[in-house]
Structure 1
Amino acid sequence: MTPEELSLAISACLKDAVAAGEIALSAADIPDEVRVERPKNRDHGDWATNVALQLAKTAGTNPREFASVLSARLKTIDGVSAVDIAGPGFLNITVDAAAAGALAKAIVEAGADYGTNTALAGHVVNMEFVSANPTGPLHIGHTRWAALGDAIARVLRASGADVTAEYYINDAGSQMNVFANSVFARLHGRDVPEGGYPGQYIADLGHEVLSEHPGIRELTEVAALPVIRGAAYKAQMHDIKQTLAGFGVDFDVFFSEQELHDAGAIEDAVARLREQGHVFDDGGAVWLRTTDFGDDKDRVMIRANGEPTYFAADAAYYLSKKDRGYTEKIYLLGADHHGYINRLKAIAAAAGDDPEVNIEVLIGQLVSVNGAKLSKRAGNIIELKDLIDWLGKDAVRYSLARFPADSPLTLDPELLKKHSNENPVFYVQYAHARSRGAARNAVAAGVERRVDGKDCFDAALLDHATENELLSHLGSYPSVVAKAAELREPHRVARHLEVIAGAYHRWYDACRVAPQGEEPITDTNRTRLWLNDATSQVLANGLELLGVSAPERM
């Protein structure tokens, strides 16, 4: 019995008790799902709930009396072997071995779908992350959001949301002119101008431009710069996309800021927000009255010289997302963008949306790597592709995903390169590889899950203490995924996989799947193979949500 099933069963018992007049509550007082959790002392049962303490006052009774009524009904549920009342009214629930063990077969049969849910079905989400300027390679500052953003998108999809992962290309504005001037200078053997982009990659881009446009050096600067800008931009975006692909991050949409400008979306945004009554003119400039929605000051959209601001582009981009049917927009921004939260929410409110529902801004803290070498090619930064080559995609992605986004993080390369239990990603991946090895050895010894076309599974045989522990953690996995999606916290999945890995290693040491020596093959061996393969499946499913591989061998 999974915690979700037990939660629903308790809720059903509450409703029955109310209908029978045993508890004085209204239907509205009864939660659809009741919180159950592991007791600190497992001798007190498999699961515990404090629902009696929560609802007794509303019912006009004391918690122990409330618990007594609920206990009597819970004891009649299939799969519940004992219910005890503890302290002021806690309910400690023990499930029988067969009810717990049946989960192993259910997981194997569910396969890759185990852990998915429909909690966010109907949610249409646009999630923007990374969005690095196309004027240089991706570096360590973009790494965290690449890993976390992709993992968040995956857990949202696992919970039923319709998610579009979007990369906003900042390809308009002065930085693109500086970029083109830098490449032009290097093409002609000169140092980049003051304030230009340093790094060998600018010279490399110059070679790519020259390869595509052999006569570019013969053109005047005025004629050459637009060509260089377009060709170098194309080459740099290709590099960015390749790096992201190597990191296992796929975007559904690459959205160009320049296209907003070219399509007149900036002017359209100003006109639409003016119609809403939030735009005013002052000092020759056009402003959005964002202070009406909690911003610390009003924002200029069009400068007095007629030039639009970045803020105007932000507004046009938000409206584009709204027009494309995304009812929820999630922005993943770096620590230096904390001031953007209020202004983005103000744009949402001015556009007629609910800033508490239709927009969400997540801020990530900085990440650093001990002993990382700066890239001369990229101009004294740590490139993402170098980090992948050095530590490996899996180690970097897992390490970034196992911490909350709002906590500063320093990666330890020496730890991440260790093949030991100290290294979290190795610990989890090794558990998966070990489970696959156990399955291969079992099959080689003649142990099969099916014999003569029939499943060989007896849930009651999974009665060892380590099996009870492992099953309980496997059963909690779906609720962990759902909570990770709800809170946008994929680190919950990573940490739970580590718990499962630990429980699996303890079970592996205590319970053999394959018989030893001349021992006969029994249904215990066959049933344990189901549990072994169920663990493999959950570990693989969880690692997939983090964008990390589940190796068959290590």
Structure 2
Amino acid sequence: MTTVPEILSVSIKKAFALAQKDSLIPGSKISDAAVERPQNPEHGDYASSLPLKLAKPLKKNPMEIANVLAQYLKEDEILDDVVVAKPGFLNFILSKNWLQNQVDQILAEPENYGVTNVGKGKRFQVEYISANPTGRLHVAHARGAVIGSTLASVLKSSGFEVEQEYYLNDAGSQIDKFNRSLMTRYMQSLGNNIDMPEDSYPGEDVRAVAEKIRDSSHNRYDTSNPKEISELGKVGIDLMIEGIKEDIESLKIHFDSWFSEKSLFENGQFEKCMALLKEMGFVSDKDGATWLLNTKLGEEKDNVLIRSNGTPTYFSTDIAYHYNKFVQRKFDTVIDIWGADHQGQVPRLKSAMKMLGSDPKNLEMILVQMVRFKKGETTEKLSKREGNVVPLIELVNEIGPDACRFMFLSRSHETQLDFDLDLAKKQSSENPVYYIQYGHARICSILDLATEKKIDYSKGLVTMLGHESERQLINKILELPSIINAIADTYEVHHLPHYSLELATSFHNFYQNCRVISENEGDLELSKARLKLCEAAKLSLARCLDLMGMSKPEKM
């Protein structure tokens, strides 16, 4: 689906070419027509700053350039008017007839509405959450989870081939630590009075797994036998992963693949990757450890790959894992969604990818800032260290997956989020989740009433949609493809809930000002036209809710 800015860009370039042909503008080429939505609606439906950008290369006054282009653009059928504004802006008023006709265009191909092709089939991988399988997920994981799944949905809608992956850190010291913790909990569940080790996972989720193993097995594990301790650990990890999947599904998230860190060692990919780096001269042994020479590529310091005790670092397995993504599985772009505390790892991992022949620009990291939860007058940051971590599934059960998803999406990932638990549970227009979903439910009720009254609006005349509220609603509906493309370009998914709220507001405003189904028989044709507009608005709201992973209630 072609966006309005794309259509206007074509018109501007055509006007520019005609002006050059008539010798009113010097010869030059333009790649970006700089079309955007103005913040102030008084400045038109759309605006372009192109004349300002052309002033220097063309050595002409931007107002003069703008006036020349406006002469040609005013003849375009998509526009009712073009206003030149200082210091050189072109402000566009979209044609009333063109806007009305877009309602029919949307309804003619409802399945394609909000679907674009900027991705052109490029293979993207989005990896997120990837928490250690040593405990159930907690609310700190939720923000990145919702951002990742929503971004994947938008990228798919933009024409990318997308795979969502969960990376299981099922190798290394944290697994040994889990095995010790589980063994102790298992022994306690059998009545043994022993204390947890100092360096352990003391959480209730580990206790629950131990008790589940005790209750489901007729045989008892011999905790003095290392092999049986290892087997107990494997069973425990599998059960913990089952719990993690339950947590994920509670947020309406489904991964395409689960990648095991352990597999990197079992299939030799880790060794192969380390050997390649050594062969290229990027590895050195010193102080008993193996180092990656990041300083060779301009980084501030080198980084340990293999510790002096022979165990790999997280950094080394990350390198092998990303080598697998780019070289083995040949993704065009990889997007990792990490917590903000991983910021220091970004440049060194990009540096390692460059060493291995992959373009570091194709590795994107989205660093998600922390969440503070507000309940009443109290606001607090949740952390394991403070002992106030809330299991993810408890939050979902308290306020529902839709409220969770919307709230976590509502702010840029670059800013700290204050999550208002009281607001998320309100059943009123104060709650943006309720307000948006109520808009969808209200439209469904209107369309159901039309069916009940046997009103066939399929041939309704959209030319009757002349009220300003109708015009504003059509204009807002048409923004969705641009929003999708913008998110696919910037990965800033918070624009989607903002747009959804604006769309719902525009619909509610239309509903207040324009009676859709009138009791007056003389208004039947106008009702048919407005029912068409309602259906188009429903399509747009439904698409937004789908992309955000939220339900589309038909009654509320």
Aligned to 1:500: 503
Aligned to 1:338: 343
Q: Determine the C-alpha separation between the residues in 2 that align with 1:458 and 1:62.
A: 45
Task: Render the CA deviation track for 1:363-405: whole Å, top value 9, x for unaligned.
Answer: 11111323499999xx752011000000100000011011111
Instruction: State, as a whole percentage, how many aligned pairs show the same letter.
Output: 34
Listed as ranges, the gaps of 5+ residues in structure 1 are: 451-455
Aligned to 2:417: 409
Contact 1:11/1:32, CA 8 A, preserved across alignment: no
2:460 equivalent among 457, 482, 491? 457
Structure 1 residues 47 and 365 mapped into 2: Cα distance closer, same or farther (>3 Å)?
Answer: closer
Aligned to 2:191: none
Contact 1:395/1:416, CA 8 A, preserved across alignment: yes
Structure 1 residues 18 and 275 mapped into 2: Cα distance closer, same or farther (>3 Å)?
Answer: farther
Aligned to 1:241: 245
Deviates more, 1:403-412 or 1:132-141: 403-412
- Secondary structure of 1:138 counterpart: coil
What is the correspondence of 1:64-143 to structure 2 with a 5 Å cutoff? Answer: 64-143=63-142
Offset of 1:449 from its aligned partner?
2.3
Deviates more, 1:286-295 or 1:339-348: 286-295
Offset of 1:220 from its aligned partner?
2.9
Task: Render the CA deviation track for 1:105-150: whole Å, top value 9, x for unaligned.
Answer: 2222332431221122243222211001101000011011111111
What is the correspondence of 1:17-56 to structure 2 with a 5 Å cutoff? Answer: 17-26=19-28, 29-38=29-38, 40-42=40-42, 45-56=44-55
Q: Determine the C-alpha separation between the residues in 2 that align with 1:458 and 1:297.
A: 68
TM-score normalised by L of structure 2: 0.92
1:425 equivalent among 433, 438, 456? 433
Aligned residues: 542
- Secondary structure of 2:259 counterpart: strand
Structure 1 residues 45 and 408 mapped into 2: Cα distance closer, same or farther (>3 Å)?
Answer: closer
Q: Determine the C-alpha separation between the residues in 2 that align with 1:38 and 1:315.
A: 44
Offset of 1:293 from its aligned partner?
3.1
Contact 1:294/1:342, CA 8 A, preserved across alignment: no
Aligned to 2:548: 546
Q: Determine the C-alpha separation between the residues in 2 that align with 1:176 and 1:415.
A: 39
2:275 equivalent among 265, 271, 277? 271
What is the correspondence of 1:341-360 to structure 2 with a 5 Å cutoff? Answer: 341-355=346-360, 357-360=361-364
Offset of 1:174 from its aligned partner?
1.5
Q: Determine the C-alpha separation between the residues in 2 that align with 1:252 and 1:19.
A: 53
Residue 199 of structure 2 corresponds to residue 166 of structure 1: no
Contact 1:7/1:36, CA 8 A, preserved across alignment: no
Contact 2:223/2:229, CA 8 A, preserved across alignment: no
Structure 1 residues 129 and 115 mapped into 2: Cα distance closer, same or farther (>3 Å)?
Answer: same
Offset of 1:230 from its aligned partner?
0.6
TM-align CA RMSD? 2.2
Contact 1:127/1:329, CA 8 A, preserved across alignment: yes
Q: Determine the C-alpha separation between the residues in 2 that align with 1:427 and 1:199.
A: 38
Q: Determine the C-alpha separation between the residues in 1 that align with 2:181 and 2:64.
A: 78
Task: Render the CA deviation track for 1:299-320: whole Å, top value 9, x for unaligned.
Answer: 1212334332222111111111
Give the AA of the match of 1:31.
S
Q: Determine the C-alpha separation between the residues in 1 that align with 2:545 and 2:311.
A: 47
What is the correspondence of 1:184-195 to structure 2 with a 5 Å cutoff? Answer: 184-189=183-188, 190-195=194-199
Contact 1:97/1:459, CA 8 A, preserved across alignment: no
Structure 1 residues 58 and 219 mapped into 2: Cα distance closer, same or farther (>3 Å)?
Answer: closer
Task: Render the CA deviation track for 1:306-335: whole Å, top value 9, x for unaligned.
Answer: 332222111111111112101212111112
Structure 1 residues 3 and 109 mapped into 2: Cα distance closer, same or farther (>3 Å)?
Answer: same
Structure 1 residues 95 and 225 mapped into 2: Cα distance closer, same or farther (>3 Å)?
Answer: same
Offset of 1:20 from its aligned partner?
4.0
Offset of 1:460 from its aligned partner?
2.3
Deviates more, 1:357-366 or 1:48-57: 48-57
Aligned to 2:178: 179
Contact 2:44/2:93, CA 8 A, preserved across alignment: yes
Q: Determine the C-alpha separation between the residues in 2 that align with 1:22 and 1:459.
A: 39
Aligned to 1:391: 399
Deviates more, 1:160-169 or 1:227-236: 160-169
Q: Determine the C-alpha separation between the residues in 2 that align with 1:500 and 1:324.
A: 40
Aligned to 1:329: 334
Aligned to 1:530: 532
Residue 484 of structure 2 corresponds to residue 481 of structure 1: yes
Task: Render the CA deviation track for 1:164-217: whole Å, top value 9, x for unaligned.
Answer: 111111111121122112121122223322221113322221133234542224
Structure 1 residues 101 and 230 mapped into 2: Cα distance closer, same or farther (>3 Å)?
Answer: same
Q: Determine the C-alpha separation between the residues in 2 that align with 1:408 and 1:394.
A: 20
Contact 2:222/2:229, CA 8 A, preserved across alignment: no
Offset of 1:442 from its aligned partner?
2.5
Deviates more, 1:486-495 or 1:262-271: 262-271
Offset of 1:532 from its aligned partner?
0.6
Contact 1:3/1:476, CA 8 A, preserved across alignment: no
Deviates more, 1:397-406 or 1:157-166: 157-166
TM-score normalised by L of structure 1: 0.93
- Secondary structure of 1:132 counterpart: coil
Residue 475 of structure 2 corresponds to residue 472 of structure 1: yes
Aligned to 1:453: none
Give the AA of the match of 2:355.
A
What is the correspondence of 1:506-517 to structure 2 with a 5 Å cutoff? Answer: 506-516=509-519
Task: Render the CA deviation track for 1:199-242: whole Å, top value 9, x for unaligned.
Answer: 33222211332345422244634232111111000000011012
Contact 1:172/1:257, CA 8 A, preserved across alignment: yes
- Secondary structure of 1:237 counterpart: helix
Listed as ranges, the gaps of 5+ residues in structure 2 are: 189-193
Q: Determine the C-alpha separation between the residues in 2 that align with 1:177 and 1:48.
A: 60
Contact 2:4/2:482, CA 8 A, preserved across alignment: no
